Chains A and B, each alone.
Chain A
Amino acid sequence: MEFEDFVRTRGPALLRYGYVLTGSGHDAADLVQEALLKLGDSWARVRDKDNPEAYVRTVMARQHISWWRRRRREHLTDEPPEGSYLDAHPSGELWKTLAALPRRQRAVLVLRYYEDLSDGEIAEVLGISRGTVRSQAFRALATLRVRRAVYERGEA
């Protein structure tokens, strides 16, 4: 496959992944394009030896965390999508809570529940230990649950 074909066929899926990672259309576009630029540089090697899509997704997850690691205050998110599951539930709140999670916790959740990776695979993608993956996921899940429960009580 040529690089251009790869971008054409896999681009939309990569944008969706970037959107779930960053929570913003603007940042998702930025993240995907930067990762594709990197992929283009090593296309011949990656195409022959590795899986280009896994490569791009790994670059995106790492890049996302490093870009935003020290920038917790500036990163704003888009409006929650309309007409979705989120409307039926009290979860502009879920969207808000996801946005408020530290980047690494959010990335762990996305890799686990959106990408369906095992904790071992997540550890490899993010370059952290399996124990850290578990503790980050635990904290993120705790945050999501606690806040949602509080919100529902308020609604009742």
Chain B
Amino acid sequence: MTTEDELARALRQLAEAAPEIDLLAGVRERRRRRTRRRAQAVAVAAVIAVAGTSTTLTRGGVLATGGGHDAAATASAVEEPRAAKPADTPARPVDEVWPQAVFTMPARNADGWKYRPITGISATEVLLSAEPSFEKAGALEVYDTVTRKARVVTRMPSTPGLKEYIHQTATTDGKSVAWFTYGERQDGSMVREIWTVPLSGGEPRLLVTLTGERARIATIALAGEHVVWSDERAVWRLPLAGGEETKLADGLHVIAWPWAGDLAEGPGTADANQTRVVNLETGEIRRIAAAPGAEGLRCGVTWCSGRQRHAGLVQRVDGSGQAAFREAMTPPDAYPVLDRFVRGRGEVYDTATGVSARVDNPGTWSGVGVSAEPSTILYWGTTRSGKPHEYRVLNLAAVPAAQ
């Protein structure tokens, strides 16, 4: 078949653009880091064994009351002064750094559907998608870490006549949830729908069906009485009550309402630096002063993360507070979470305290939430199994404000 031949040829030609790097040096460096990490893990384990009882009590008390006890974070802030260079800060286990933000929950709902966390709604609530099959959402639920129970927000509707129907990205403002779907008509043309439902529950409402050029929606946000989305070219707004969409801004992409940036997701933007952060409500523009040699810079209102000379980088939007990461912390091309936390593989760095927390994951995978705005959720299995019965979850929305 021509198509298959063409595909094979295209893949071979793509391969020619692969990077050339010194693999041996890279592997050596990784081995050295791993050895050091293991040595640290042993040392930390010894400390926890001594302090074990009080750690457990603290965590239990915090979760039971949902209160703001933040002894760990306060102590960290004292030990690690603000804007300390991350390179000088060995990561400590997340259970120790933010005990009040880590909890265990079931990996499946009452119907046996697999949970996929979306994002934290508050310090004690997490929005979840429950999936009867891979990447097919069947229901939206909210898990409460205080009562340790999940409740169903809604069963996910689907539209007859559309193929390849996928509930794509969801967003929440604490009052409602909105999401968009992917689908195709029988002739193969793209259809995107935007739906909303109150977080308290109810019947989902279809707000708009987008086709043709309008269907190139990339991300979505809730803004008071409106839903907002960006496509490859512009930001659009539509009243939740219904009506026509209006263009809010050209050439911008929503990060987390009301903030937008000038980088689209997609091919060619991975190494590009964002140049400005724009408040879509007030029109305020903040220009980003990129560190020399920075690549892939992604900024919220205050903080940016990116790469510099193949290591990770954090800096403030105004160019201050530049610090290099250990390579293990090289962040993906993602915006800082809550304009504060930077995620690396298996680690989270807190720009407010200069502390890194490490996820000690017994399995081979970990996930991040799939919300439109940078998700506050990281999760992994409680056991080595690829299909664990329970997730261990870090909700960054439950980390106390820095002192």
User: Do A and B bind?
Assistant: yes
Interface residues of A (CB under 8 A from B): 4, 7-8, 11-12, 14-20, 23-26, 28-30, 32-34, 36-37, 40, 63, 66-67, 69-81, 84-86, 91-92, 94-96, 99, 102, 109-110, 113-114, 141, 143-147, 149-150
A139 nearest in chain B by CB position: B164
A74:B20 contact, CB within 8 angstroms: no
Interface residues of B (CB under 8 A from A): 3-4, 7-21, 23-24, 26-27, 30-31, 34, 116, 134-135, 164, 169, 184, 188-190, 265-271, 307, 332-334, 345, 364-368, 370, 386
B27:A19 contact, CB within 8 angstroms: no
A71:B14 contact, CB within 8 angstroms: no
A70:B15 contact, CB within 8 angstroms: no
Interface-centre pick from A12, A29, A33 (highest chain B CB count, 10 A):
A33
A36:B15 contact, CB within 8 angstroms: no
B4:A113 contact, CB within 8 angstroms: yes
User: Which B residues are CB-close (under 8 A) to A40?
Assistant: 27, 31
CA distance A40 to B139 in the complex (A): 44
| A44 → B minimal CB distance (Å) | 16
A19:B269 contact, CB within 8 angstroms: no
CA distance A14 to B23 in the complex (A): 10
State which of B8, B15, B164, B270 has its C-beta within 8 Å of the C-beta of A24: B270
CA distance A147 to B65 in the complex (A): 52
**Assuming A7-B27, A17-B15, A96-B267, is B368 touching A74 (CB within 8 A)?**
yes
User: Which B residues are CB-close (under 8 A) to A96?
Assistant: 266-267
| A122 → B minimal CB distance (Å) | 15
B13:A81 contact, CB within 8 angstroms: yes
B19:A29 contact, CB within 8 angstroms: yes
Given contacts A4-B24, A7-B24, 18 further A-B contacts (CB under 8 A): A11-B23, A11-B24, A25-B17, A29-B19, A70-B365, A73-B370, A76-B270, A76-B333, A77-B270, A78-B17, A79-B267, A81-B13, A86-B10, A86-B13, A96-B266, A141-B3, A141-B7, A146-B184
B30:A78 contact, CB within 8 angstroms: no
B20:A12 contact, CB within 8 angstroms: yes
A contact face: mostly helix, strand, loop, or mixed: helix
A114:B12 contact, CB within 8 angstroms: yes
B369 nearest in chain A by CB position: A70
State which of A69, A73, A81 has its C-beta within 8 Å of the C-beta of B14: A81
CA distance A30 to B332 in the complex (A): 11
| B229 → A minimal CB distance (Å) | 14
**Assuming A69-B365, A71-B367, A102-B135, is B267 touching A94 (CB within 8 A)?**
no
**Assuming A4-B24, A24-B270, A71-B367, is B15 touching A85 (CB within 8 A)?**
no
B190 nearest in chain A by CB position: A150
A-B contact pairs, 5 of them (CB 8 A): A15-B20, A29-B26, A40-B27, A72-B370, A77-B267
B24:A8 contact, CB within 8 angstroms: yes
A80:B18 contact, CB within 8 angstroms: no
User: Which A residues are CB-close (under 8 A) to B269?
Assistant: 76
User: Which A residues are CB-close (under 8 A) to B333?
Assistant: 74, 76
A78:B268 contact, CB within 8 angstroms: yes
B12 nearest in chain A by CB position: A114
B11:A15 contact, CB within 8 angstroms: no
B267:A95 contact, CB within 8 angstroms: yes
The 4 closest A-B pairs by CB, nearest first: A70-B367, A81-B17, A19-B18, A25-B19
B30:A33 contact, CB within 8 angstroms: yes
**Assuming A33-B30, A66-B364, is B10 touching A91 (CB within 8 A)?**
yes
